[in-house]
Amino acid sequence: MSVMTVGFVGLGAMGRGMAARLLAAGHPVRVWNRSPGPVQELVAKGATAAAGLDEVYDSEAVVSMLPDDRTVEALLLDGALLAGARAGVHVNMATVSAALAEHATALHAEHGIGYVAAPVLGRPGVAAAGELNILAAGEAAQLERVGPLLAAMGRRTWHFGDRPVQANTAKISANFLLACAIESMAEACTLAEANGVRPTDLIEMLTGTLFPGPVYSGYGAMVAERRYEPAGFRLPLGLKDVGLALAAGEARNVPLPFGSVLRDAFLDALAHGDADKDWAAVAAVARRRAGLPD
């Protein structure tokens, strides 16, 4: 196995598990996070605390797992930071917009740094187990270079092309489909309950017949049981990803009629105080619209 020093930025619910997997695979890891608690957690597992982002970029490779465009832009797309970097490649594992992917690719190229997009499918427990599905795109040589890192964090790496934006677009499309699935299950469960059918019975039948698999069984149970905490993926992040899909569609003249419905449902959920709940809590909107009790 090829071992390289890794600078890891972003130790949230997903990043902590991913950094731990790199450590377990034998890679020396320098970690940086805006809050100190997760840093100390990883230091206890063998990581080194980076004093700043410049120290992170003194590694052979940088891996980042940040929540959105704004955070990536503010922390990592800094010309001075990249100009002084020793790192040969940055693996951005965040779900970001197509526009940011294009900008980040160009900026890294200006400074002679490889750039790979590698957003992931999976929740925090999956990340901690190293069972993520990783959607990757970038130059072939860079993908080969970071292959051992991706293998340490995921069960499988899916390649989508030589332009990083292709991986980000694939991830945006996947999350859009997940949001549609949650909304459709919410509406179906609401229809069933309004007519005297227990939602849990409906979901049990659907996942045992028409829709087997982790999406419908996992999110279906959360919807049917109205179990939205603890949040594996917070509702505001769901709204962000729906917005990314709508923006990507607008940029290419691709209508996404369901996207507008989803955006309004997520906004409704946020307006009713569900920001700290899992994005499956958007199902509560369908219940309210139907006049079913909380």
The catalytic residues are: 171
Q: How far is CA 66 from CA 53, 71, 76, 121, 286, in A?
A: 14, 7, 10, 15, 31
Give the angle subtended at the CA of 159 by the CAs of 154 and 160, to the nearest 5°: 135
Residue 106's H or E segment, with its range, is helix 98-110
Contact residues for 188 (Cβ-Cβ < 8 A; gap 6+): 202, 206
Contact residues for 97 (Cβ-Cβ < 8 A; gap 6+): 69, 168, 172, 244, 247, 248
Contact 19/43 with Cβ under 8 angstroms? no
Closest residue by Cα to residue 76 from 46, 38, 115: 115
3-state secondary structure 236-261: HHHHHHHHHHHHHHHHCCCCCHHHHH
- Measured CA to CA, the distance from residue 112 to residue 158 in angstroms comes to 25
Q: Are strands 89-92 and 61-64 parallel, antiparallel or unpaired?
A: parallel
- Measured CA to CA, the distance from residue 276 to residue 234 in angstroms comes to 6
Helix (H/G/I), strand (E/B), else coil: 126: helix
Q: How far is CA 294 from CA 58, 157, 220, in A?
A: 52, 41, 18
